[in-house]
Each structure stands twice: as C-alpha cells, then as structure tokens.
Amino acid sequence: MSYEFRLQDPGEGIHEAEIVEILAKEGAMVEEGDNVLAVETDKAVVDISSPVTGRIAEIRVGKGDIVEVGNVLMVFETDEETSAETPADEAETQEKQPEDDKRPEPDREREAEEAEGAGAEEGHEDSAPEPEKGSPPDDGESRGESVKATPAVRGLARELGVDIDEVSPSGKDGRVTERDVRSYAGQDAGDDTSGAGESGEEDRRDDDIAERRSLRSVRRTIARRMAQAWRDIPHVVHHDRVDISALERLRREHEPEIEGVRLTVTPFLMKALAGALREHPEFNAVLDTDNEEILLKKAVNVGVAIDTDRGLMVPVVRDADSKSIAELARELATLSDTVRNQRAKPKMLKGATITLTNIGSIGGTGFSPLISPPQVAIFGAARAELHQVVEGSLDNYDTRIALMLPVCLAFDHRVLDGAQAARFVNTVKRNLADPGALLIHG
C-alpha cells in the first residue's frame, strides 16, 4: 500500500527546507526511524527519518530542491498491517499535485533562475503547473497552488499578511514578484531594491553571467531578515574606542590556563557586555510591534555572530552574566564548532536578547552592524591597533602608546535614545578597561 511522506515542520515556524542530501536509494528497503534525507532550514541541517517500514517506491525531490512544508518527499510501499498505522488513507484523499512534488525539469529550473524581483532564488519551484487553457480548475483547487512564485516571495506574502491568490503577477511567464507583493500590501514599490525592471533584464543576460550561485536556505534567510531590519528599524550607530592594553596583558597571562581553548578577546567582550546589560536593562529587551510593548528580559542571553561557509550564524550563550570568562570561552568554542559543522539545533539559535559581532580577527577600523529583530541593539568590535593616546588638559598633557579597540553600538531609535546608548557604551568601556574588576565583580 502506498504512503506519501510529506515534509513536516523540522523546527519552530519553518515554512520550507532545502534538500542537501538523499541518504537512501529508490527501491531500497528501510526501517521506521532510518534517516532517508538531510534538509537545511534557515536554522540548521536536520536529518529526516522514515516514518514507516517499507520500500521506497519513488523519490520526488532532488539535491538542491527547495521544498515547502506539506509537499511530498517520498512515496513508500508498505504492507497492509504497517500502513494501517499511518495516515496513508488520509494522504490519498488529499488533492494530488504531480508536478509540484516532483523533481524540477531543467527548463523549469532555468525559468526560476531568470524570475524577476528580489528573493527569486534559484532551484526548485514549489508551485503547481497552470491548467490547460479552457479547462476549469479541479474542484477544491485554490489559485494559491498554481500561482507562480518562489518560496521567498511566498514567505514575504505571509510576513505582510498578503493573500498571494489576490496578487496580480508582473514577472516573466506570469510570476508574482516581490515588487508585486509589496505593491499589493501598500508599500512603495520604490522601496524594492531588487533591481528588477528595465535594468533588471539587462543584468540577467546569459552572455554576461560568469556563474550562477543559488541563494541557499541560510543565505536566503539572512537576506530576507536583513532587508526587513534595514526597512523597518530606524538604526542609529554610536562609535567609540576603548583602551584594552590591560585586558590584552591579562589575556596573554591566562591563556595557557584554559586547556584546549584559544582565549580571544570575544569572551571578555561577552562578559563586559553582559555586565552592562544588567546595569542598563532597557538594552536587554525585545520589541513587540504587534502589541506595541517593550519586553525587558530576565535572562541575559548573548547571541554571538560566527562566520561560516554558509553565512553568519548566531548561536546563543545563555545566562552570560553568570558565567566566568573561562566558561564563556569554552562554550563559545563548542558553539562555533557546532555551527561550522552544521550540527546546530534550532534551539541553539533562538532566544538572544542582544547580539555581539567581532570582526577583529579579520580586520577593519569600524563598521555599522544591523540589528536582528526583535532585538533592540547589536554591539560590534573591530580590530584593535596601537595608537598614541593623549591624556590630560590642553596645557598639561602626557602621551603614551595604548592598544585601542574600536567598538560600536547600533540601537533601535524607536526604543532607545542617543544618551542611553552613550551611557551603555561607557559602561562596557569601563568593564573592558579594568578587566581585574570584571573578573572579580562581573
């Protein structure tokens, strides 16, 4: 008896996933619980196990496909006794979507690559084919299943509360683009930074393209969230420098004591930041725009941006204010290894009350990071350099050489003001400039 295995939500609030590996072959016998697929969501890579014991009669997805929750991944042939325990009969009553759930033909992939509008990522398109001209849709079929739109555009429609069935398409071959969705939602089409339009077609000429790279799950989510942050949050960035000469000497002195872990400046930044959040709880908060409330959090959970080959990942160090610098260093090393090896669970990437991003190991004298909503601030650090520091008054001063660290704080001006930001950064500077006090009292 046939069993249609559909993609379930592998994490909280996941709408789609990318197939990164097929772990079983068509025709193979599998046991219930055997891993048959690996999928990548905007949070992590997750193994998908077989819900039944039986033979894989058909695999309807391919590596690199973008599949929406509810679409068929595989079809199993099971015996009568096993299938009675599964929702197979229920699945057969659902409307079949033959083209939607199969691997895309090469020409359909090419059409998706050439789709207009920002967010038109390359790869599998999860929309059903158009009905033949003159043929009415099957009973119960909604236009949403036949609307031509990429998963990113569908996700945007969900975010904006737009019924994609009602949106008039303007893209190639009747596709609904990001511009169409924003226009329907009442947003200024001029806000669209996709480059679509007269120049967009020119930019996508095949003879001028050296390589096409898919906007994969993590990168696509980063693009969507950063565009949302830039569009919705009035950012103000406060820049400063802090003398970390004493901190650097302390770091070098104690680094050998932390076995197996390289002690960097980042754990000190985390500790200084966590201490400042306790003194300035308005920064340890999230903004609830639906209810127009600022929610001050009890726990100090610091998200730390980690550079990976899939893009920035932000695992969360929970209760950072209650941990020693050695504990923070070990936990950060473990989290970094986990996300870089694609083993992070969705829970590891949720719940941050503020984000720390440190590009000092790469370089740069400063930058302006973007806030990750619903957080209200993000703290950044660049590369520390030796500078001549002048101390004293105009008529009576001394000079010395110090290791100066450029820092910045981007904050949401809907929630916070410049004076609050300056006081917060001053507290972080005080903590970093006196690491002995940080270790004892932090």
DSSP result, 106-174 = HHHHHHHHT--STT--SS---PPPPPPTTPPPPTT--GGGT-B--HHHHHHHHHHT--GGGPPP-SGGG
d(CA 164, CA 160): 10
Question: Which homologous superfamily is 235-441 in?
Answer: Chloramphenicol acetyltransferase-like domain (3.30.559.10)
Q: Average of pLDDT values for 65-87? A: 75
Query: By the 8 A CB rule, do 287 and 414 touch?
Result: yes
The pLDDT of residue 173 is 67
Q: Average of pLDDT values for 63-90? A: 72
Query: By the 8 A CB rule, do 412 and 228 touch?
Result: no
Residue 116: pLDDT above 50? no
Residue 58: pLDDT above 60? yes
Local structure of residue 175 (DSSP, 8 states): B
d(CA 306, CA 20): 21
Pairing verdict, β 2-6 and 66-68: unpaired
The pLDDT of residue 202 is 59
Residue 121: pLDDT above 70? no
Which string of b and e fits 79-95 if b means at least 16 CB within 10 Å? eeebbeebebeebeeee
Q: Average of pLDDT values for 39-66? A: 86
Residue 26: pLDDT above 80? yes
pLDDT tens for each residue of 218-267: 788 788 889 999 999 999 999 999 999 999 999 999 888 887 888 999 99
pLDDT tens for each residue of 329-348: 999 999 999 999 888 888 89
Q: Average of pLDDT values for 30-45? A: 85
Q: Residue 218, Cβ neighbours under 10 Å: how many?
A: 22
Residue 289: pLDDT above 80? yes
The pLDDT of residue 291 is 94
| Rg, Å, the chain Cα set | 26
N- to C-terminal Cα separation, the chain: 63
Give the model's confidence band at 204: pLDDT under 50 very low, under 70 low, under 90 confident, else very high: low
Q: What does the chain come to in residues?
A: 442
pLDDT tens for each residue of 333-391: 999 999 998 888 888 999 999 999 999 999 999 999 999 999 999 999 999 999 999 99
Q: Residue 109, Cβ neighbours under 10 Å: how many?
A: 18
Known catalytic residues? 413
Give the model's confidence band at 146: pLDDT under 50 very low, under 70 low, under 90 confident, else very high: low
**Beta-bridge partners for 47:** 38
d(CA 379, CA 270): 10
Number of H helices, E strands in the chain: 13, 19
The pLDDT of residue 201 is 57
Cα→Cα distances 49→36, 39, 121, 261, Å: 5, 11, 27, 35
> Which of 316 and 8 is assigned the larger pLDDT?
316
Q: Cβ neighbours of residue 52 under 8 Å, at least 6 residues apart?
A: 3, 5, 32, 76, 78, 82, 83, 86
Query: By the 8 A CB rule, do 77 and 54 touch?
Result: yes
Give the model's confidence band at 158: pLDDT under 50 very low, under 70 low, under 90 confident, else very high: confident
> Which of 405 and 19 is assigned the larger pLDDT?
405
Give the model's confidence band at 152: pLDDT under 50 very low, under 70 low, under 90 confident, else very high: confident
The pLDDT of residue 165 is 87
CATH number given to 106-220: 4.10.320.10
Domain definitions of the chain by residue range: 2-101, 106-220, 235-441
Which of 32-36, 88-92, 119-123, 165-169: highest mean pLDDT?
32-36
Residue 122: pLDDT above 50? no
Distance of alpha carbon 203 from the chain centroid: 27
* Helix, strand, coil shares, percent, the chain, to 5: 35, 25, 40
The pLDDT of residue 324 is 92
The pLDDT of residue 347 is 87
Neighbour-count burial of 213, counting CB atoms closer than 10 A to its CB (0-12 exposed, 13-18 middle, 19+ buried):
exposed
Percent of the chain past pLDDT 70, that is, above it, reads 77
Tokens standing for residue 169: 């398409």
The pLDDT of residue 398 is 96
Strands of the 35-40 sheet, one edge to the other: 45-49, 35-40, 16-22, 66-68
CATH number given to 2-101: 2.40.50.100
- Among 12-16, 155-159, 295-299, the range scoring the smallest mean pLDDT is 12-16
Q: Average of pLDDT values for 147-156? A: 76
Element (H, E) at 407: strand 397-412
Pairing verdict, β 66-68 and 16-22: antiparallel
Q: Average of pLDDT values for 160-164? A: 86
Cα→Cα distances 62→19, 37, 150, 361, Å: 7, 10, 17, 38
Residue 126: pLDDT above 80? no
Task: Name the residue among 438, 210, 232 with its Cα closest to residue 324.
Answer: 438
Q: In whole numbers, what is the pLDDT of the chain averaged over residues?
A: 81
